[in-house]
C-alpha cells in the first residue's frame, strides 16, 4: 500500500518540489522532507515529517534517509553557494548504503550528457551554451552522474526542459535520446516521479521527460 511507503524528499520548497510534495501527500505517501529553514516553513500535514538541516552535511543525510523507502531529490543550485550536486549525491549514497536503501530519483536539466544521446541541433546548442555560461555547475552535475553510475543503487536521473508551474496535466513525452518538447508541467512531472517509485523501467537510465504540447 502507498501508505507504507515513506519518501525522503529534497527540494520541497523549489519549483518542482512544491508540486511533487503536494501530489505525494494527495496520493497517500508518507514524506520526510528536508528543510533548511523550517522556522519559515508553514506547510504541515499528518503524513509529513520535517528534517532541519543541509544535505551537504552527512549527519543530516543520515537523519533524512533513516526509515525511508525511496529518495527523490529536486534540489537546485543556488546562486553564489557551494556546488551542491556531486556533494549531495555522495552523501545521499552513503546514507542509502548505511540504511540499505536502493531507490534514488534525481532531477536535473536536459544539458546533462549521457552515452547514447542523440540530441537535436537546437538542444546541442543549448547544452553548449550552458557549459560555456555555467561551466562549474554543469561540470558538477556531470560529476554527480558519474558518481551515480559507479554506485550499486537503483538510480534514475530525470532530465528536464523548462519547468512550467501549473496544475494542468497534458500527458508526457519520454525519450532516452533527446528532449522532444520545450516544457514540462509541474503536475505532469510530479505524476512521472511518483510512478518511478515503483516502476523499474528507467532504473539506471536518464530519460528526458517533457509535457505534450498544448492543444
pLDDT tens track for 87-113: 999 999 999 999 999 999 999 999 999
Please, are residues 41 and 61 in contact by the beta-carbon 8 Å criterion?
A: no
pLDDT digits over 167-204, tens only? 999 999 999 999 999 999 999 999 999 999 999 999 99
Beta carbons within 8 Å of 93's beta carbon, 6+ residues apart: 104, 147, 148, 151, 153
Residue 157 β-bridge partners: 106
**What is the span of the domain harbouring residue 76?**
2-211
> Could you tell me where the DSSP H helices lie in 79-168?
85-98, 121-133, 135-149
Residue 153, all three cell numbers: 543503487
DSSP state of 47: T
Nearest residue to 161 (alpha-carbon basis) of 184, 192, 178: 184
pLDDT digits over 24-73, tens only? 999 999 999 999 877 778 788 899 999 999 999 999 999 999 999 999 99
Q: Do strands 208-211 and 172-175 pair parallel, antiparallel, or not at all (unpaired)?
A: antiparallel
pLDDT of the residue at 80? 66
Cα separation, 85 vs 56, in Å, equals 9
Cα separation, 193 vs 191, in Å, equals 6
DSSP state of 205: B
Count of domains for the chain: 1
Asked if residue 1 has pLDDT above 50, the reply is no
CATH of the domain at 78: 3.40.50.720
pLDDT of the residue at 157? 97
pLDDT digits over 8-27, tens only? 999 998 889 999 999 999 99
* Mean pLDDT value of segment 154-158: 98
Residue 38, all three cell numbers: 523550517
Helix axes 186-196, 15-26, angle to 10 degrees: 60
Straight-line distance from the first to the last Cα atom of the chain, in angstroms, rounded to the nearest whole number: 36
Residue 109, all three cell numbers: 536539466
Please, are residues 172 and 210 in contact by the beta-carbon 8 Å criterion?
A: yes
pLDDT of the residue at 37? 78
pLDDT of the residue at 3? 54
Residue 178, all three cell numbers: 533527446
pLDDT of the residue at 189? 97
pLDDT of the residue at 40? 76
Please, are residues 37 and 29 in contact by the beta-carbon 8 Å criterion?
A: no
Amino acid at each position: 500500500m502507498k501508505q507504507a511507503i515513506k519518501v525522503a524528499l529534497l527540494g520541497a520548497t523549489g519549483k518542482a518540489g512544491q508540486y511533487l510534495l503536494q501530489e505525494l501527500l494527495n496520493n497517500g505517501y508518507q514524506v520526510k522532507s528536508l528543510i533548511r529553514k523550517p522556522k519559515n516553513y508553514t506547510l504541515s500535514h499528518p503524513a509529513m515529517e520535517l528534517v532541519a538541516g543541509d544535505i551537504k552535511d552527512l549527519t543530516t543525510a543520515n537523519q533524512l534517509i533513516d526509515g525511508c523507502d525511496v529518495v527523490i531529490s529536486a534540489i537546485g543550485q543556488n546562486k553564489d553557494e557551494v556546488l551542491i550536486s556531486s556533494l549531495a549525491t555522495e552523501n545521499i549514497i552513503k546514507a542509502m548504503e548505511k540504511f540499505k536503501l536502493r531507490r534514488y530519483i534525481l532531477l536535473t536539466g536536459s544539458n546533462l550528457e549521457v552515452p547514447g544521446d542523440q540530441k537535436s541541433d537546437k538542444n546541442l546548442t543549448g547544452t553548449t551554451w550552458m557549459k560555456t555560461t555555467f561551466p562549474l555547475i554543469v561540470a558538477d552535475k556531470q560529476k554527480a552522474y558519474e558518481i551515480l553510475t559507479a554506485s550499486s543503487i537503483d538510480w534514475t536521473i530525470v532530465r528536464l526542459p523548462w519547468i512550467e508551474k501549473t496544475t494542468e496535466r497534458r500527458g508526457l513525452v519520454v525519450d532516452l535520446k533527446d528532449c522532444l518538447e520545450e516544457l514540462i508541467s509541474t503536475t505532469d512531472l510530479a505524476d512521472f516521479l511518483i510512478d518511478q517509485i515503483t516502476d523499474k523501467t528507467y532504473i539506471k537510465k536518464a530519460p528526458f521527460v517533457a509535457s505534450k504540447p498544448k492543444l
